[in-house]
Amino acid sequence: MKKITYDFLVELCNDEDYSIQVQALYIFRILVNSTSDDIEEVFSNCKAKLMKIIETKLELVNQEIISHSLFILCVISSGNDKQKNTIIEFGFLKKIFDYLVIQYF
């Protein structure tokens, strides 16, 4: 992350090329994947932007982008209480439920 800033990574998540979006989301997956401190590091740099990106990605039809977005949400929801509350704060529980209902029922 010394060379790639969080703002640049956020921009890549909105690139016209889906493969670039997938790679950027995968980097976010890696960044939040280990501990609640890792999640907090990402949140301190781009929490609102990341949550907005994930919100828009869940509305796409690209399964790979959706799966990375859902994985990021799962990791955040396994963090500390403050991080778990982010999922509720941004309304993701309903969005995930709605997504699952549309996809599987």
State the CATH number of the domain containing residue 24.
Answer: 1.25.10.10
Its domain, for residue 32, covers 6-104
Any domain includes 53: yes
Coil, helix or strand at residue 60: coil
Question: pLDDT digits over 58-89, tens only?
Answer: 888 888 999 999 999 999 998 999 999 999 89
Residue 54, domain member (yes or no): yes
- Residue 11 counted as domain residue: yes
- Range among 13-17, 86-90, 99-103 rated most confident: 13-17
**In a domain? residue 98:** yes
Whole-number Cα distances in Å, 56 to 3, 4, 70, 82: 26, 22, 12, 23
DSSP state of 59: T
In a domain, 94, yes or no: yes
In a domain, 1, yes or no: no
Residue entry with tokens 């670039």:
20
Judge whether 67 lies within some domain: yes
Number of folded domains in the chain?
1
pTM (predicted TM-score): 0.86
